[in-house]
Structure 1
Amino acid sequence: RLFDLPFLFSSLKAVDTFIQSDSGKGLLKVMEPQGYTGLGYWSSGLKQFSANKPLLVPSDANGLKFRVQTSDVAVAMIEAMGASAQKLAFKEVYGALQTGVVDGQENSWSNIYTQKFFEVQDGVTETNHQLLAYLLVTSTEWLNGLDPEIRDQFTKIVDEVTIAANGAVADTEAKNRQNILDAGGKIRELNAEQRKAWVDAMAPVWTRFEGDIGKDLIDAAVAANGTN
């Protein structure tokens, strides 16, 4: 839920700073009671909004329907915009946008480009509002059952692959952002005042989930922005 909070991170560098911190590494252990060990976070970039009309401030989304992933935080975020959330499978998004089942969606630059969502939207608003990432996990029993030397080699390789993969995300996202423009898509950038309007609109979402996530953890994530 932490990574679902809107406008939590200012950049992918801030994300990297947090996940390498003690607080970020501590999150890898949250599934141990269920028998799983976290090995790392694989980032797919920051999310942007798109819709069938221009989105510059949250009120522009009033009354629209947005496709979201299965996340109560994402639903709360959409509702804070005065819009309604529709949970749909990823493979159904293009058709839903094309036929008007939903009016907009949120995704990384790479997904927006490769799935051609921009073709059936008025434009994409560069909000960088939420992280799209995945937690890599394995069975704790299996991991602990490995020979110590093999286990060390395994985790070292996973760490190296994770660093390399996350390091390539920024370049891939920038490339696909440009690909959208080259293909005739429209991208809208927010000025400082407009961005503040988005951040302010999402404050109630933070308040709603602060007790569940933990204020200390949120503060640690926010602090990562100040070092980048």
Structure 2
Amino acid sequence: MRMVIAALFASLSMLFASLVQGAPVVINFPHVVAEDTPKGQMADKFRDLVQEKLAGKVKIEVYPNSQLVTDKEVVDKLLAGEIQMGAPSLSKLKKYTNKLGLFDLPFLFTGIGAVDKFKRSEEGQSLLKSMEPLGIRGLGYLHNGMKQLSANKPLYLPADAEGLKFRIMSSDVLVAQFEALDAIPVKKPFKEVYNLLKTGQIDGQENTWSNIYSKKFYEVQDYITESDHGYLGYMVLTSSAFWDALDPAIRKELEKMLKEAIAFGNQIAIQKAIFDKQSVVDARKARVITLKQKEKEKWIDVMNPVWHQFDDQFGKEIIDAAYASN
């Protein structure tokens, strides 16, 4: 409650100062990735739309490449009024709500189309409000893509992963996922993955084609299994106090422009997954394995029981709703 009150005070103070001075409302929008990524291009698109349609009223300042904050700091900085928007990965929000871990469940979605359908549903939209009691509002979802498995040995069947060390994000779901394979999950920062693979401290990792290509993981892994077993995405956030204090007409325009920017970023993500996969194939450094249907069903059979471990935490109803989107 103290943080919510502080956020309200900070937001009102900033907006009042802008009104008194006749200056535009400044929205600081930092993120941790490069400008040419789907998230980076979405943020720049939003900035450009605002500059075009709300010039003199609102100004978006985009800070890429962790210039201002890391994903872990976004919520605290929003509540402190130091930034006004952010787009951390869903997995980074577990400290504030346990509901978003739902997106880490293996084989919950068959593809990006199913993810989109769920996000548009009543249940998916309700998750945008899961941090409202803390004073944080979700404004929309953004894709990175579907995750693939890479390793220093070919992975055709779940048994092939037994005993291997896989780097994971900090997620109880992902721990359970790899333990179901009798593999060893290792929580390490994303920035360390390349060197960990290169030095053999870990045997494999899971990631999207975009991350595998941009971070050159294919250079230090012999095999990549196209598993599409999980989803990696982001949530665009703001402080509820800041957003509610905006002029209603301006807020409506911002919501419209953000929706357009997110749709643009999501389309970039889909296109980039195709392009980056082909770039990995063309590099001829890692062999890409396409699973046969019977092989994929073996992975699903082994990983699906992980869902039941989190029925109470996420709610069986919302898990069922997500699966029904396929």
User: Match for residue 77 of structure 1?
Assistant: 177
Match of 2:303 in 1: 202
2:140 aligned to which of 22, 40, 47: 40
Equivalent position of 2:111 in the other structure: 11
SS of the counterpart of 1:158?
Answer: helix
Superposition pairs of residues 1-228 of structure 1, within 5 angstroms: 1-184=101-284, 185-225=286-326
Structure 1: segments with no counterpart, 5+ residues? none
For 2:192 and 2:159, how far apart are their aligned partners in 1?
Answer: 26
> 2:128 is paired with a residue of what secondary structure?
helix
Shift of 1:207: 0.6
Instruction: After superposition, give the CA deviation of every residue in 1:16-70 in whole Å (9 maximum; x if it has no partner).
Output: 1111111111110000011100011111000000000000111100000000001
- Give the 4+ runs in structure 1 shifted more than 3 A: none
Moved more, 157-166 or 103-112: 157-166
Q: Give the TM-score taking structure 1 as reference length.
A: 0.97
What's the secondary structure of 2:142's corresponding residue?
strand
For 1:132, the aligned partner's letter is L
Give me the whole-angstrom Cα distance separating, in 1, the residues matched to 2:221 and 2:209: 14
Cα deviation digits, residues 170-209 of structure 1 (max 9, x gap) = 1110000000010003110111111111111112210101
- Report SS of the residue matched to 1:41: strand
Amino acid at match of 1:95: N
Gaps of 5+ in 2: 1-100
Query: Is the Cα contact below 8 Å between 2:107 and 2:304 reproduced in 1?
Result: no
1:75-95 Cα deviation digits (max 9, x unpaired)? 110111111111111111010
Following superposition, the deviation at residue 111 of structure 1 comes to 0.6
Q: Matches of 1:209 and 1:158 in 2, distance apart?
A: 32
SS of 2:229's equivalent in the other structure is coil
TM-score, normalised via structure 2 length: 0.68
Deviation (angstroms), 1:164: 1.4
Q: Give me the whole-angstrom Cα distance separating, in 1, the residues matched to 2:264 and 2:271.
A: 12
For 1:58 and 1:211, locate their aligned partners in 2 and report how far apart those are by CA, in whole Å: 26
Q: Give the Cα separation in 1 of the matches to 2:235 and 2:159.
A: 33
Deviation at 1:119, TM superposition (A): 1.2
How far residue 168 of structure 1 moved from its aligned partner, in angstroms, is 2.2
Greater RCO (CA < 8 Å, at least 6 residues apart) = 1
- CA distance in 2 between counterparts of 1:157 and 1:195 reads 40
Structure 1 residue matching 2:225: 3-state secondary structure: strand
Please give the alpha-carbon distance, in whole angstroms, between the structure 2 residues aligned to 1:139 and 1:170.
Answer: 29
